[in-house]
Amino acid sequence: MGEILLHQAYPGLFTPVETGIFFARQLPPLRFGARQRVVRANEQVSQAVYLTDGYVGRYRTDQLGRRQFLALQIPGDFIDLPSYTLGHLDHDIDSFSTVTVRPLPHAAIRQLQENHPEYGNKLWRITLIDAAVQRYWVFRIGRLMGRARLANLFAEILVRHFARGLSGVDGCPLPINQTDLAEACGITPVHANRMMGELRAEGICDFAHGQLRVRHFERLVQVGQFEWDYLYLPPETDRALAALAGTAGSPPITHARHETGQL
């Protein structure tokens, strides 16, 4: 229930001072109950909301009204920054838990951009990482089988909490139910249930009462084939995770030797 600050959510990107600058422009917080529409698709909005507390999910529905979650957002996510540039979203965002958001008027963003040209790029960066996360969801759902999909998603949620200092690697809050989880993984609730049973039986993790408890982070990462390079975490965080996962961590960034390929 504590309000996560901008520099905590995006370490290395924003300083405490900048958090203050942004904070000063924010409108009073808005609170939503669980299972409410937080941002409506196709609705022109004039402010971007920052999720300071609680959990929300983006989704689209098919012709039969069945949901597919496109992303899960955790405290500290700037959830509808795209609306600043695009004006509206193409999908809905609903709350899972009670949430608190702080709206930042588009006009304020524009002003901040003018006074501090680098802020535009910082916000841009946030949306680029979101896009990278989106891409990884395609990989997860497209290539992994049921159990691995779940493990992989759990690992993502956990690591994203960890990177913000919101948890260790032994578990984190995830106030959603099994059906939501299934809709995030592109499987049925029944199957999600069975696969989670396996993960639990194998002593890897268990998920109940809105809490994810990870018994064996290393194996969670293995079973889920999880890599976190796509999260573009600060080097310290990456190293810490590598140590905890018993892996090499994200691959090193090399330098192009010359203009590549050619025919």
Partner DNA sequence: CGCGGAGTTGAACGCATTCAAGTCTTGTGG
Partner DNA sequence: CCACAAGACTTGAATGCGTTCAACTCCGCG
User: By CB under 8 A, what part of segment 156-175 binds a second copy?
Assistant: none
36 binds DNA (CB under 7 A): no
Rounded distance, CA 34 to CA 177, Å? 12
58 binds a second copy (CB under 8 A): yes
120 binds DNA (CB under 7 A): no
String of b and e for 111-143 (b: at least 16 CB within 10 Å)?
Answer: ebbeeeeebbebbeebeebbeebeebbeebbee
127 binds a second copy (CB under 8 A): yes
If the CB atoms of residues 178 and 225 are measured against DNA, the closer one turns out to be: 178
Report CA torsion sign: 242, 245, 246, 247: negative
Query: Which residues, 200 to 239, sit near DNA by CB under 7 A?
Result: 208
147 binds DNA (CB under 7 A): yes
Task: List residues bridging with 103 in a β-sheet.
Answer: 49
Q: What are the backbone angles phi and psi of residue 42, rounded to the nearest 5°?
A: 60, 30
Among 127, 177, 222, 225, the residue binding DNA under the rule CB under 7 A is 177
Rounded distance, CA 253 to CA 39, Å? 37
If the CB atoms of residues 17 and 260 are measured against a second copy, the closer one turns out to be: 260
Torsion of CA 137, 10, 205, 154, to 10 degrees: -10
| Span from 4-12, 133-141, 156-164, 200-208 in contact with a second copy (CB under 8 A) | 133-141
Rounded distance, CA 212 to CA 181, Å? 12
Instruction: Provide the mask over 63-102, with x wherever binding to a second copy is found by CB under 8 A and - wherever it is not.
Output: x--x-xxxx----------x--xxxx-xx------x----
| Span from 15-23, 163-171, 238-246, 252-260 in contact with a second copy (CB under 8 A) | 252-260
Question: What are the structure tokens assigned to 27, written together?
Answer: 């409108």
If the CB atoms of residues 178 and 247 are measured against DNA, the closer one turns out to be: 178
| Span from 13-21, 102-110, 130-138, 183-191 in contact with DNA (CB under 7 A) | 183-191
Q: Which does 193 bind (CB under 5 to 8 A by kind): a second copy, DNA, none?
A: DNA
Query: Which residues, 127 to 146, sit near DNA by CB under 7 A?
Result: 145-146
Smallest separation, CB 76 to a second copy (Å): 18
Give the distance, in angstroms, between the CA of residue 49 and the centroid of all CA atoms in the same chain. Answer: 15
Give the distance, in angstroms, between the CA of residue 204 and the centroid of all CA atoms in the same chain. Answer: 22
If the CB atoms of residues 146 and 171 are measured against a second copy, the closer one turns out to be: 146
Count of CB atoms situated within 10 Å of the CB of 98: 16
Strands of the 56-61 sheet, one edge to the other: 37-39, 92-95, 56-61, 67-73
Query: Which residues, 209 to 248, sit near a second copy by CB under 8 A?
Result: 225, 229-230, 232
Amino acid at 33: G
Task: List residues bridging with 67 in a β-sheet.
Answer: 61
* Total residues at interface with DNA (CB under 7 A): 18
If the CB atoms of residues 67 and 191 are measured against DNA, the closer one turns out to be: 191
Residues that bind DNA (CB under 7 A): 145-147, 177-179, 186-191, 193-197, 208
